[in-house]
């Protein structure tokens, strides 16, 4: 389940909630009691481990030569 960051537009209270994607958004602020909680945009947090495309395809190695240069086409 994803973690969503919420912030109250009335009092500025901030809190993260663990919710299903199908859950309705939180609207009531637990601090001031107003229906002013808004979901904020936040960066995802994940790490790619092990081997695979992240380690092999984006390793900064030599670039492919365009076909026109390989075959001598102009």
Query: In this structure, what DSSP letter does residue 12 have?
Result: -
Domain spans in the chain, listed from the N-terminal domain onward: 1-25
Work out the average pLDDT over 31-47.
88
Q: For residue 34, what pLDDT is reported?
A: 98
Q: What is the pLDDT of residue 56?
A: 59
Half-sphere exposure of 7 toward its Cβ, with a 13 Å CA cutoff? Answer: 5
Query: What confidence score (pLDDT) does residue 44 get?
Result: 75
At 42 the pLDDT is 79
* 40: β partners: 5
Please say whether the dihedral angle defined by the alpha carbons of residues 35, 36, 41 and 42, taken in this order, is positive or negative.
Answer: negative
Tens digits of residue pLDDT in 6-38: 999 999 999 999 999 899 999 999 999 999 999
Strand arrangement of the beta sheet that strand 14-18 belongs to: 14-18, 3-8, 37-40
């Amino acid at each position: 389940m994803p973690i969503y960051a919420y912030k109250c537009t009335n009092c500025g209270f901030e809190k993260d909630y663990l919710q299903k994607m199908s859950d309705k958004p939180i609207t009531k602020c637990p601090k001031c009691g107003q229906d002013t909680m808004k979901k904020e945009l936040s960066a995802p947090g994940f790490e790619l481990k092990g081997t695979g495309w992240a380690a092999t395809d984006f390793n900064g190695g030599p670039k492919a030569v365009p076909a026109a240069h390989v075959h001598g086409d102009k």
